[in-house]
Chain A
Amino acid sequence: MSKILSVDDSKTVRMIIQRAFRPYECTIKEAGNGEEGLAVAAIEKPDLIILDITMPVMDGVTMLTNLKKNPELKDIPVIMLTAEHGQENVANIVSLGVRDYLVKPFKDAQIVEKAMAVIPLQARAEAVPVG
């Protein structure tokens, strides 16, 4: 079963991520900032990290930079979430070596689609996937 780590200081966004992936066979781990995210990633070794950029304590860019320096974690694919979707910001995100990015606002189906391009996700037998 795939394991996804959601790193966002907003409980709202973490709840939206939980809801979006509920119909699929996967587990969601959570962290509230980049520092916690690195710690959880080291323990859980997730298959995918969904990472916010603007966070207190440690932002997403710093977490990603540290992730890429860690031989055990550097190959974990990362999808970045950002509310700042100016062209320059997007170009900066891409240059960091992320697998993909998604701008807020987004629909549940969009984040699932992005994740499915990176990791295998199967619908739970009793659930109807988001459309």
Chain B
Amino acid sequence: MYISSSKLIDEVGELLKGGVADVFSTMLGLQVQNIATEDIRDNGEIFVAASVAFVGDVHGIVYLYFKSSIARTLAGRLLGLSEEDLTDDSIVGDAIGELSNMIVGAAQSRLCDSGIPCTLTVPIVTHGQDIKEEVSFPADNLLMCVACCDEVIQLELIMKSSQKPSVISETYEQNS
């Protein structure tokens, strides 16, 4: 059963949300809730943004946006440090990059197991206000949000348009 590329981006989005839940539970001992999508980047706050690309039979980039406060909370939990001990922003950025790498890695692995081979790039982390992404290819876009520790974490999935149709659903049905 072949499905359209617009369905593919929805399915990869679900894999990403599953990856967030798995990584937060295993590495941080935290639960996340799926919530309605809202764009949280225009409120003038400082954000930590991580991007991880996947390249292969499908091409795409995942951006994860964390308000600075939740980024410090998550980094502290991951490293076993109090927020007072997180004196270096580069440590927070490194921790957020690693969490993002694991999240996108979980989705990438499911894609590979579904017959859509691709590899990950090294995560890139930036700090700042009004962070906006741009890509140089025709792309489909999916915005998602999850909540954790009373804060919103935003995920943006950008996938190159007109990609190979997915067989993810069929594979899931066969494996379930």
Question: What is A's interface to B at a CB cutoff of 8 Å?
Answer: 9-13, 15-16, 19, 54-56, 82-89, 103-107
The complex places the Cα of A56 from the Cα of B104 at a distance, in Å, of 18
In angstroms, Cα B117 to Cα A104, docked, is 19
Chain B binding surface, main DSSP class: helix
A–B Cβ pairs within 8 angstroms, 28 of them: A10-B94, A10-B98, A11-B91, A11-B94, A12-B78, A12-B79, A12-B94, A12-B97, A12-B98, A54-B122, A55-B122, A82-B105, A83-B102, A83-B120, A84-B105, A84-B108, A84-B119, A84-B120, A86-B108, A86-B110, A86-B111, A86-B112, A87-B113, A88-B112, A104-B102, A105-B22, A105-B23, A107-B27
Chain B contacts to A: CB under 8 angstroms: 22-23, 26-27, 75, 78-80, 91, 94-95, 97-98, 101-102, 104-106, 108-113, 117, 119-120, 122
Chain A residues within an 8 Å CB radius of B106: 83, 85
CA–CA, A55 and B102, complex, Å: 14
A76, B44: Cα distance in complex, Å: 51
Bound-state CA distance A13–B101 (Å) is 11
How far is it, in angstroms, between the C-alpha of A40 and the C-alpha of B46 when the chains are bound?
A: 38
Complex: how many Å from CA A105 to CA B21?
A: 11
Q: How far is the CA of A94 from the CA of B111 in the complex (A)?
A: 20
Cβ contact of B26, chosen from A11, A54, A105, cutoff 8 A: A105
- How far is B123's CA from A10's CA once the two chains are assembled, in angstroms? 10
Which residue of chain A has its CB nearest to the CB of B24?
A105
Q: Kindly list chain B residues whose C-beta atoms are within 8 Å of the C-beta of A12.
A: 75, 78-79, 91, 94-95, 97-98
**Chain A neighbourhood of B97, CB < 8 A:** 10, 12
Please indicate the chain B residues that have their CB under 8 angstroms from the CB of A19 in the complex. 79-80
Smallest Cβ-Cβ distance to B54: which chain A residue: A84
